[in-house]
Amino acid sequence: MQTLIYTVLLLGVMGFVAGLGLSIAAKKFEVQEDPRVEEIVKILPGANCGLCGYPGCSAYAHAVVEKGASNDLCVPGKKAGVSDKIKKIMKEK
């Protein structure tokens, strides 16, 4: 019975230490993303059609912010004025 208690206690301590180590590593290696990417993703239609030349709306948003891709490539969003909204977001920062 004593062996069982020690085993459970040891596993509990090991789990706590591993969890603590993982949480510290997650904070240390956290990747900061430009908030404009999320704003652009929210205004895109979300069709993920690939007509813009990128594999999805998120990839297109990253390309606009990070690589300076054209803001008028979204074909489904042309009627909704997505291009103008992207211009406003890019000029804000």
CB atoms within 10 A of CB 85: 17
pLDDT at site 62: 94
Task: Tell me if 44 sits within 8 A of 82, measured CB to CB.
Answer: yes
Rounded to whole angstroms, how far apart are CA atoms 60 and 34?
Answer: 14
Rounded to whole angstroms, how far apart are CA atoms 72 and 77?
Answer: 9
Query: Class of the 35-92 domain?
Result: mainly alpha
pTM of the shown model: 0.69
Delimit the domains of the chain by residue range: 1-30, 35-92
Q: Which residues of the chain have pLDDT under 70?
A: 92-93
pLDDT at site 56: 92
Residue matched to tokens 């054209």: 70
Q: What is the pLDDT of residues 58-67, one digit of tens each?
A: 999 999 999 9
Side chain identity, residue 61: A
